[in-house]
């Protein structure tokens, strides 16, 4: 790919701007995770670099994100006495993402329903805000939302007034910082630059303290029999969450650049970045929406911007680490509250009451499970319930399309043939695809239409593009019921794939081969002749 001067200039400015925004966020996420600020910075450096170089979204900026940090913090708290297990989970998460890319699972991430994604992301935003409440008050942070909620009364009754002042300054800056100034000095960085000097003048403000500099040490992976299941489970959650987080950000980037990302390549790039991050004791990351948007708006158009963002952060870590030691925890907590606020899907919440009530209930349920149970349960339950609701709606649509064929859908010859036999022939039109959702009621619908004087039933499959096992079994039930009732059945209009399925299942053993016709007109003509012969024989 060739670069022109404007592209290079845009990538440099985009990368530098994204690095400035990423610096305070990486520090804050590192502290929130429990692994420390340096782990957050190296997460931004390593994941950001390899995802930019190897990923499938040229303008994406990757690094620690709120959702990933929430899950990682739980893993870190569970295995805080065995850090090898913590970072083994990160390495495995990266490998699972790489595997997902090679298996081309990236495309399927888009199938997660929007209310589930909305509830999940809003729940993550709520968790981030809840977990920061203690540090806003100058107290220790909690490791879980429930614990943080339980500690709120104590934090309110025993606040650190100095930390409370810093929190107020930080919150005011990140929420009220003018957008025009944000182009030159991002709100999170402004909050650090303003709150840190003030904290130096106040007594008893908790600060980051000593931050190690230099290159990180290697964390060799380790698994034990007792911990293997929990570590692999945590890795799967991190991998799934990282994939969703990254590919959603990729969609945002596509909308802004009018481009098209490669989902599976993006998973591979993110996976490589996370595996190497875990190997060096850094926290995991994913595509970061805010940083990606800032990169694009600042002129970033290629992978150079993401790689440059990581190299700038590396230079800061190697030379400027001591300058960050005086940053107060309360300032970082204020920044994270803004991050959590931005993650909450306010746009959907404001207009959800105008849409289907079930989607709103699904979103609220996923949000609640995310906050009060765990992330994987929330997403799994949300996807399952959404799928069941969709299947029910699809079944209703399928059943509504099944019925007697309208005379308007028949040509003159077919209409004339049908009128010669009064109500003796019933054409049962399957109006579209047939799946297990409608299978249970298909037989009932057929029985309703074969009573009385009906002696011939034509099953018309001409508008059926596909049929699944359950629906095929229901067709067999219709054939069996018709035979027991003395009704002759013709099957017509089947596509090759449906014919092959019926042959494989042995469905045609329930009906003479002569009664399987290529089209409706031929079946109708033979049925009319059969009825006329029966009339002559009866007379």
pLDDT in tens, 326-359: 888 898 888 888 878 887 888 888 888 888 888 8
C-alpha–C-alpha distance, residues 171 and 336, integer Å: 9
Identify whether the C-beta of residue 306 lies closer than 8 Å to the C-beta of residue 294: no
d(CA 382, CA 376): 10
Structure-token pair, residue 114: 């929007």
> Which two tokens mark 372?
């009060």
Contact in structure between 285 and 65 (CB atoms under 8 Å)? yes
Question: Minimal CA–CA distance to 329: which of 50, 138, 98?
Answer: 138
pLDDT at 320: 65
| Alpha carbons 485 and 479: distance in angstroms, whole number | 10
> Can you tell me the distance from the alpha carbon of 443 to that of 489, in angstroms, rounded to the nearest whole number?
14
User: DSSP class of residue 451?
Assistant: -
pLDDT of residue 336: 83
98 CB-side CA count, 13 A: 16
- The encoded tokens of residue 213 equal 């500099």
Residue pointed to by tokens 């107060």: 328
pLDDT value of residue 116: 84
Residue appearing with tokens 């013709």: 490
Tokens coding 312: 């700038």
Please report which helix (H) or strand (E) contains residue 367, including its range: helix 357-372
- Residue 420 CA to its chain's centroid (Å): 57
- pLDDT for res 399: 67
How does DSSP classify residue 328?
Answer: B
E strands within 376-461?
403-404, 425-429, 456-460
Residue 4 region by backbone torsions, left for phi larger than 0, else alpha for psi between -120 and 50, else beta? beta
Tokens of 448: 């309703």
- Residues in the chain predicted with pLDDT less than 50, given as ranges, are 407
- Token pair recorded at residue 164: 């409370």
Q: Which two tokens stand for residue 434?
A: 């047939």
- DSSP calls for 221-251: ----TTTHHHHHHHHHHHHHHHHHHHHHHHH
Cα separation, 493 vs 499, whole angstroms: 10
| Residue range 485-529, pLDDT digits in tens | 888 888 998 888 888 888 888 888 888 888 888 888 888 888 888
How buried is residue 350: exposed, middle or buried, by Cβ count under 10 Å (0-12/13-18/19+)? exposed
Cα Rg, the chain, nearest whole Å = 31
Tally of residues, the chain: 539
CB 468 within 8 A of CB 436: yes
How far is Cα of residue 18 from the mean position of the Cα atoms in its chain?
A: 25
Q: How far is CA 402 from CA 15, 432, 473, 482, in A?
A: 58, 8, 16, 17
CB 186 within 8 A of CB 20: yes
> Residue 267's pLDDT is what?
95
As a whole number of angstroms, the distance between CA 526 and CA 539 comes to 20
Q: Which domains does the chain have, with CATH numbers?
A: 5-209+216-390 (no CATH), 402-538 (3.30.750.24)
CA angle (500, 504, 507) in 5-degree steps = 95
83: three-class secondary structure by DSSP = helix
User: Taking the CB of residue 178, how many other CB atoms lie within 10 A of it?
Assistant: 10
Q: What is the DSSP string of 272-316?
A: HHHHHHHHTTPPP-EE-HHHHHHHHHTT--SHHHHHHHHHHHHHH
CA–CA gap between residue 226 and residue 87 (Å, rounded): 16
């Amino acid at each position: 790919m060739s670069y022109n001067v404007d592209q290079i200039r845009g990538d440099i400015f985009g990368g530098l701007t994204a690095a400035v925004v990423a610096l305070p966020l990486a520090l804050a996420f590192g502290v929130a995770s429990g692994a420390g600020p340096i782990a957050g910075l190296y997460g931004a450096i390593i994941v950001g670099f390899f995802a930019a170089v190897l990923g499938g979204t040229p303008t994406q900026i990757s690094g620690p994100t709120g959702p990933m940090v929430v899950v990682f913090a739980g893993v870190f708290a569970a295995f805080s006495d065995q850090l090898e297990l913590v970072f083994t989970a990160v390495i495995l998460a990266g490998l699972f993402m790489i595997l997902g890319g090679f298996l081309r699972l990236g495309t399927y991430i888009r199938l997660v329903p929007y209310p589930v994604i909305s509830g999940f992301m809003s729940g993550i935003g709520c968790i981030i805000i809840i977990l920061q409440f203690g540090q806003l008050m100058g107290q220790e942070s909690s490791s879980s939302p429930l614990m943080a909620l339980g500690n709120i009364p104590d934090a309110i009754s025993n606040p650190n007034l100095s930390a409370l002042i810093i929190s107020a300054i930080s919150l005011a800056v990140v929420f009220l910082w003018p957008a025009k100034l944000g182009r030159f000095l991002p709100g999170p960085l402004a909050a650090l630059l303003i709150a840190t000097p003030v904290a130096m003048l106040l007594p008893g403000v908790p600060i980051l303290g000593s931050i190690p500099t230099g290159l990180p040490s290697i964390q060799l992976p380790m698994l034990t029999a007792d911990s293997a299941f929990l570590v692999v489970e945590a890795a799967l959650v991190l991998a799934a969450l990282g994939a969703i987080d990254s590919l959603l950000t990729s969609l945002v980037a596509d909308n802004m650049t009018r481009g098209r990302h490669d989902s599976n390549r993006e998973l591979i790039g993110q996976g490589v970045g996370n595996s190497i991050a875990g190997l060096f004791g850094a926290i995991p990351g994913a595509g970061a929406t805010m940083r990606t948007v800032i990169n694009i708006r600042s002129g970033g158009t290629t992978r150079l911007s993401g790689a440059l963002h990581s190299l700038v952060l590396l230079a800061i870590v190697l030379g400027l680490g001591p300058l960050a030691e005086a940053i107060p925890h309360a300032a970082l907590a204020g920044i994270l509250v803004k991050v959590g606020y931005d993650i909450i899907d306010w746009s959907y919440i404001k207009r959800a009451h105008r849409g289907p009530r079930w989607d709103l209930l699904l979103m609220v349920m996923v949000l609640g499970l995310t906050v009060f149970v765990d992330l994987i349960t929330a997403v799994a339950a949300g996807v399952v319930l959404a799928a069941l609701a969709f299947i029910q709606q699809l079944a209703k649509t399928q059943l509504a399309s099944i019925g007697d064929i309208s005379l308007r859908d028949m040509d003159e010859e077919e209409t004339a043939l049908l009128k010669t036999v009064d109500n003796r022939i019933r054409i049962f039109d399957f109006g579209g695809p047939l799946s297990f959702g409608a299978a249970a009621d298909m037989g009932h619908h057929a029985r309703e239409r074969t009573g009385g004087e009906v002696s011939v039933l034509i099953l018309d499959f001409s508008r059926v593009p596909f049929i699944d096992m359950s629906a095929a079994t229901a067709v067999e039930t219709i054939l069996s019921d018709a035979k027991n009732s003395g009704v002759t059945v013709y099957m017509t209009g089947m596509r090759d794939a449906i014919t092959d399925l019926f042959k494989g299942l042995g469905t045609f053993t329930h009906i003479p081969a002569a009664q399987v016709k290529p089209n409706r007109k031929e079946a109708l003509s033979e049925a009319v002749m059969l009825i006329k012969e029966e009339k002559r024989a009866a007379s």
